[in-house]
Amino acid sequence: MGSPADADVLRPELVENYRDFEPPAGFRSLVEDLLQSVPPKYLAGLKTIVLTNRDALSRDQRKQKVWSRNRKIRLAEARGAYYEATRTSPASVTLYVDNILASHVPPWITKVPLLRYCDLDTVLFHEIGHHIHAAHVPIYDGKENVAEDWSRTLKRRFFRRHYWYALPLLFPLASAIKVAKRIISLAKS
């Protein structure tokens, strides 16, 4: 088994590149916390994770489109993007912090320990899922499906390691939510 120093070598470099934007205090540390829970072998080959905003995109990049499920969306509207390694450049992930923060999550959520990673974990782990799929564990089920599966797996791993003390409370709550959803779906039909 490798030493912790070896694990740090495999960790991607976090690069912040904002233009006329100030991320919330501690945003970078949230990303670092999430990255600590990802097994280092899955981060091998991922050179950088860029934290940026849509104003930092060039004119051409703002016009660029990326695939999201079965449709293309403008890069400026995306919350994250994964770029596979090529012969001339290593693999990287770009997170558009302003788009992540503009999603449906209210700002007060970042103050609640159990919820502060909400949305950020989904986006980061989804993009890392694309990297795992492309570089380490190719599964032929559709890129988005595989990335979502990895996102759920990595999210569970993070919460088990980071909030182990809350698990006895979360299982009954999750069961109650499932039952409530089932009752609501039955009532609608």
For residue 118, count CB atoms less than 10 angstroms from its CB and return exposed for 0-12, middle for 13-18, buried for 19 or more. middle
Q: Which residue has the higher pLDDT, 169 or 60?
A: 60
Q: How large is the average pLDDT for residues 3-11?
A: 62
* Domain boundaries along the sequence of the chain: 4-188
Cβ distance 38 to 128 under 8 Å?
yes
Q: Among residues 148, 118, 128, which one has the least CA distance to residue 11? A: 128
DSSP character at residue 21? -
pTM of the model: 0.82
Vertex 100 angle, CA 56 and 111, to 5°: 120
Cα gap 175→169, rounded to integer Å = 11
Greatest distance between any 2 Cα atoms in the chain: 56
Which tens digit of pLDDT belongs to each residue from 142-188? 888 899 999 999 999 998 888 888 778 777 877 887 888 888 888 87
Q: How large is the average pLDDT for residues 123-147?
A: 89
With a cut of 60, say whether residue 134 has pLDDT above it: yes
| pLDDT the model gives residue 4 | 56
